[in-house]
Amino acid sequence: MQLRTAARVAAFALASAAYVAASHWLMTRTQASAWNVVGVLSPMLLIVAVGAWRSGHRWVGACAGGALGVLTALALLGVKVPSQVLYLAQHAGINFFLALFFASTLRAGQTALITTLAKRVHGGELEPGHEAYTRKLTRAWVIFFGGIVLVSLVLFFGASFDTWAVFANLVTPVATGLMFGGEFLIRYRLHPEFKRSTAADAIRAYMHNAKPSAPKVPQ
């Protein structure tokens, strides 16, 4: 099971790297076209559509699927689209959605997203200190995603498109990886009493446990 999970993680990492390289090339080294936009945006829209649908956020999944359908239809019809603006919408929009989703689990009466995942990894129970830590970590990810959105907007409107593309395609995934790795190292340095777990444990827990319920929408 561990070998299978490791193989899946490695395959996902390789596919992600290939997608990042292809996206950067399409954005900065080829002539803008409607099909370029479809090529860059469709993998992320598909991931959002499937992930949101499976996690109970049906309207988000439907919107992502609908957006992909519209972009494909425009490409088939040869309609020109403002590709650079759409690239910004994808990058800033995805990170804004993630910030909003993580933040929605921090409301009073809700269980923080990372707390929920940690409980799945550790059999449903956490030490009080560990539960408080995961809530703070969820808040840290909200700040991280919000910062990505802010920098993306500043660079898009205040710098060249190539500079923005480097940030969106290269800096963002590297920063996300450093956030994951740095948090893992800091967690066990500051809190050696916490039960140990790995990214593979979290992936298995997410894949083999019941899907999380959608955050409640205030009436």
What is the token pair recorded at 19? 């997608």
d(CA 11, CA 63): 28
Please identify every stretch of the chain with a pLDDT value under 70, giving residue numbers as ranges. Answer: 1-13, 15-17, 19-34, 36, 52, 55-57, 81, 196-219
- CA 27, CA 37: separation in Å to the nearest integer? 8
Q: Which two tokens stand for residue 159?
A: 């710098």
Q: Is residue 97 part of a domain?
A: yes
Which residue is it, tokens 């020109």?
80
Residue 200 lies in a domain: yes
Residue 112 · residue 132 · CB < 8 Å = no
Specify the residue for token string 């009466």: 109
d(CA 178, CA 94) in angstroms, rounded, equals: 19
Token pair 């609908």: residue? 66
pLDDT at residue 148, rounded to an integer: 96
CA 127 remoteness from chain centre: 28
Q: Is residue 48 part of a domain?
A: no
pLDDT at 217: 39
Domain of residue 196 covers 83-208
Q: Provide the terminal-to-terminal Cα distance of the chain, rounded to the nearest Å.
A: 43
176 occurs within a structural domain: yes
* Cα 169 from Cα 91, distance rounded (Å): 9
- The count of structural domains within the chain is 1
CA 124, distance to chain mean position in Å, is 24
What does the alpha-carbon distance between residue 154 and residue 183 come to, in Å, rounded to a whole number? 26
The residues, any chain, with a CB within 8 Å of residue 5's CB and separated by 6 or more, are 200, 203, 204
User: Residue 57 falls within a domain, yes or no?
Assistant: no
Judge whether 87 lies within some domain: yes
Whether the full predicted model's pTM is greater than 0.75, yes or no, is no
Residue 23 pLDDT: 63
In the chain, count H helices and then E strands: 9, 0
